Amino acid sequence: MHSPADVKRILEAALLASQEPLGLTELKRLLGRDLGTDTLRNLLAELAEEWKGRSVELVNVASGWRFQTTVEFQPYIERLNPEKPPRYSRAVMETLAIIAYRQPVTRGDIEDIRGVTVSTQIIQSLEGRGWIDAVGHRETPGRPALYATTRQFLDDLGLRSLEELPPLEEIAQTLALEPGPTAEAGVRPANAETVAEAEGLAEPEAEVRAATGTEG
């Protein structure tokens, strides 16, 4: 029988070695069935407390527990991998926000809220990033797919559940937004899909908030 200190060291080693978050079931497998879930949670909480104030922290996200660099040191780590992360258009971000705050929704629901057609490319972009997935079909003519966000989406935001979703302005700041072309005064773009992108970057979070109907 391992002592609590030994268990924490085993958990620490496994979590540091893993590239993905580890759930309670996976962590219990390390130690056998004699470790209760509540005991495991308490030990993980103690381990997280022990790492506080260091350059790396232990956090609990949707898929489980993981070690990650603290915010203040991330700019230095990024210098080791200068490749820029993908940036997303305003249309993609508005679609993601609608799905996140109104899920599950169909493409038709998203189009009703945004007021423009949602292209297949936008849905594929979000699916390819692992942020949304089809979770079923609405029992209406054509049985359109219902979309919802994934655990990967929550993991990337550092959240455990949808109840922890931050205000929309924080999502706009956290997830990269690609600037769109500035429309000439009084001229509307011909492609309906790029309407949201062509209106510049002024207060993007306010526009997304209005699109999702979460004003305030």
CATH number assigned to the domain comprising residue 104:
1.10.10.10
Does residue 25 share a domain with residue 125? no
Does residue 111 share a domain with residue 193? yes
| 84 within a domain of the structure (yes/no) | no
Tally of CB atoms within 10 A around 52: 9
Return the structure tokens found at 170: 């924080």
Does residue 111 share a domain with residue 48? no
Record the pTM.
0.65
Of residues 17, 7, 5, 71, the one with CA closest to residue 40: 7
Return the structure tokens found at 41: 């949670």
Q: How far is CA 194 from CA 115, 146, 149, in A?
A: 12, 23, 23
Return the structure tokens found at 168: 């929309």
Q: How far is CA 95 from the centre of its chain?
A: 14
What is the total count of domains within the chain? 2
Q: Which domain holds residue 65?
A: 4-78
Angle at which helices 90-102 and 107-114 pack, to 10 degrees? 120
| 180 within a domain of the structure (yes/no) | yes
Could you read off the pLDDT tens digit of each residue along the chain, which spans 216 residues?
678 899 999 999 999 999 999 999 999 888 776 788 899 999 999 999 999 999 999 999 999 999 999 989 988 888 887 777 677 888 898 899 999 999 999 999 999 988 899 999 999 999 999 999 999 999 999 999 999 999 999 998 889 899 888 776 776 666 554 444 333 333 333 333 333 333 333 334 444 444 445 554
Does residue 14 share a domain with residue 54? yes
| 208 within a domain of the structure (yes/no) | yes
